[in-house]
Amino acid sequence: MATEHIVKSFDDELEALHGIIAEMGGLVGGELQAALDALANRDADAAAAATVTDETVNRLEHEIEELAVRMIAMRQPMADDLRAIIAGLRASGDLERIGDQAKNIANRVFTIVELAPVGIEPDVIELGIMVREIVSDAVEAYVERDTDKAEAVRTRDVEVDRRYTDIFSEILTLNTENSSRATVCTHLNLVVRSIERIGDQAYGAVIVKDGQIVGQAPSRVVVNTDPTGHAEMEAIRDASHRLGRADLSGCVMYSTSPPCAMCETAAHWSGVSALRYGSDIQDGGRPRYRRC
């Protein structure tokens, strides 16, 4: 009976963790949509209102940290249970950063509405809506433990990167053709960068050793103009930098979905002991050398 009580208590706490993450996802999705609506309607007042939930998002992230630490300290979870808690911590950090990017977009609107439109704004808003839907689906995949939806999120990020590149090139052309557009083009470019970074936050990786996070990162392919900047590669680089060595023996890598051949091979050569991925934290075993 005591064991059943402990298990039920842990399950209740894990459900509470998932519930807070779902609430955070709804709030940051709302922030992003409000910022996009303010840009579409050229409404500075609406842009100001778009940031009012930022403090709530930060408070919820703090609640998740406190709950996760308490669960680890009191329950001493192992294997899948520990992985589920760490995944929740990672998700809350990503959502908090998404909220920050939505706030950045809203702040740019204040300047953009004072300047003449340049015609690219509808494409920027369309990209933002695409990313908002990706964030929503990523949160749902986590809460529902839906691996198919998680993999679909990864696939759609490729389209976001392509659209981002096209819009960036168009903004550059508009600025080159007419230097008087420099200010508005600069702010629109920063908006697009924030949108793309939000899309990258929907896919990430974290590396854990002895119950401690030693490396973590989102995808940085477009932000750094680096085709090798996949989340897993960036997390390996971060862990190696933090630990001061290239050997990551004893470390476990967690990622949103199965890594590509390049990333799994990098994990293999770095000595990563095991891979975990997917919304239900599947066990991917030891990384293997794979021909790219």
Active site residues: 232
- Asked if residue 21 lies in contact with residue 67, where contact means CB atoms within 8 angstroms, the answer is no
Distance of CA 230 to the CA centre of its chain: 12
Which of 223, 219, 225 lies closest to 237, judged by CA? 219
Angstrom distance (rounded) from CA 206 to CA 201: 12
Q: Residue 264's Cα: distance from chain center in Å?
A: 20
Phi-psi region of 210 (alpha: psi -120 to 50; beta: other; left: phi over 0): left
Please give the torsion angle defined by the CA atoms of residues 162, 194, 258 and 252, in that order, rounded to the nearest 10 degrees. Answer: 150
CB environment 44-63: b (16+ within 10 A), e (fewer):
bebbeebbebbeebeebbeb
Are the C-beta atoms of 138 and 146 separated by less than 8 Å?
Answer: no
